Chains A and B, each alone.
Chain A
């Protein structure tokens, strides 16, 4: 049966391990049932975490190329992201952001090789 072709025990064990890693990291502070509350200042500080996380993930995706800051402006990603961002501020719609951003990105990337 094709399904089991090339499956080895070691890889399956690694997958089990990675599953535990996901569970532990995503639920780390949910595990203990002990009663404690974060100090107010920490709770307020965490409200900055969502936008910080997004910025930290997104900007390197757009502006880094092989471990370095973009060496050329001829890169389809920042153009796509800029167009997508502009569409978001215009229409307030993430779906349109994705579609129009891709319409800007794909021709530059596929035709011009940016």
Chain B
């Protein structure tokens, strides 16, 4: 229960401060928020797009959360999903004459595998040489984007294409849009089967972290590496393992982007999904259920920002970035407050039981 209350307080606080900012800029805060929320929750377009935007945030939020649970800060989801999208596109292009029953599993597997490898590298570097994962994942982000663009430019571009993007993938590897399945939802809205994959993966991540011995080892390492080592857990192996899983989760963004939306690798497709994932994990308390809620919230903000941009006089869509920043600030401040609160509760309990 408290897990829900504290982030909600942070959200409300962020919106209050955001409202003041809107008022200072010279627009009506209530009208602006009505636009923001109304456009994000309208049926079918608002909800459809909100869930579409939420999908990559779920994957990257889960990726960052798994890292956090092992005591690692994976800043590299951005690079992992970039490499994964590129690799998935390559696989999709080469699977021209294959049935969808084969093409989709293979491309999905490539998405996970390539992200996992990209995440594993900084994990290995940390485990072997002790170099910090934050630095290495940031560097890996640059390498990923550079590598994907260079290879696209040289080998995978369609002839005469002026845009930095690969050729389209085989139709067999397309995954259906939800509009093709759900009645009442137009197929033009790009939310696709990857959203269901994201829901399923959230459940799996929960089971993995809390119901398996592997998850136990990851969490023990994150809580207290010395105690984990004492319990016969190889901390180094856990670091590599957690980074690999984290990278794999980030890689799944490619399922949404390449198999479900653009059907190709498109340079600069990621609107900071990897970095927003950090905020999502933070707001979601590194728990899959929380990540899911936080991702939908951030998806709604993204959707609403377009309307705020267009239909208000002065406020631009940057308001949403301000709100995101404020949420993170308040969540961080809240954890300070929460720590105090919990310390107090503990003393109470301690005194009760002596």
A and B co-occur in one complex: no
Binding site for A on B (CB under 8 A): none
